[in-house]
Structure 1
Amino acid sequence: MQNVVLIVHLILALSLIAVVLLQRSEGGGLGMGGGGGGGAMSGRAAATALGKLTWLLAICFICTSITLTIFAAENASGSSVVDRLGVTPPASTEPSAPSGDTLLPPLLDGDAPLVPPAE
């Protein structure tokens, strides 16, 4: 069922892109251009067939998005990714803050210590 909804969702997305690209630009996007008495500045926008189809596809796209979100929430069921992998995280045996000795690189033969010995 989830795969069917996902395929429908992808088809709706591609159809929505195609329908939006087919529409005529009226020059009123983001307030740019748009001279003349009609178009985007009028009180009521023209209800063309492509405009109605865009609304229908957008509503269906949102419905499939919500449906896919519900499916994902049901599949999560409070488990983490680590739980699904079946890997147990290693237990930490070291103290939370490393000691001063572990911060320094190991001494090689003939190297002088970086820190003078404590007295």
Structure 2
Amino acid sequence: MENVVLIIHLILALALIAVVLMQRSEGGGLGMGGGGGAVSGRSAATALGKLTWILGVGFLITSITLTIIVAQQSAGASVLDRLTDAPATRSAPASDDAPLGDNLLPPTADDNAPLVPAAD
């Protein structure tokens, strides 16, 4: 079900982009330059304008539907539930007499030396 709604959503998005790009530019920002007459600032609704509204409403409905589907699938699950404690691959034993600042470079693949030098 989710895949079907997602495919419809993507088709609506592409169609909405195409319809908006096909519309005639009226100049002026935010509908300021409409040719609807001196009394009315609103132009007559064209077929592309109506189609834009229909595609926009369909896009909004599929967006809400996808949100509801995903919310139902993840009900009760948390991101924190997926976290696990990964074991450390290499850890140094905690000791107060460990030399600090001897080698500040990270170990290389050739470096097989232990993390803490052996006591003599």
Q: Which residue of 2 aligns with 1:38?
A: 35
Q: Which residue of 2 aligns with 1:27?
A: 27
Contact kept in structure 2, 1:26 and 1:39, CA below 8 Å: no
Q: CA RMSD in A?
A: 3.5
Q: Which residue of 2 aligns with 1:88?
A: 84
| SS, match of residue 45 in structure 1 | coil
Q: 2:56 aligns with which of 52, 55, 58?
A: 58
Identity of aligned pairs, percent? 68
| SS, match of residue 38 in structure 1 | coil
Give the TM-score of the pair, scaled to structure 1. Answer: 0.63
Distance 1:79 1:3 in 2: 21
Q: Quickly say closer, same or farther: Cα 1:63–1:47, change in 2 above 3 A.
A: same
Q: Which amino acid in 2 is paired with 1:89?
A: D
Q: Quickly say closer, same or farther: Cα 1:39–1:26, change in 2 above 3 A.
A: farther
Q: Which has the higher helix share?
A: 1
Distance 1:90 1:101 in 2: 28
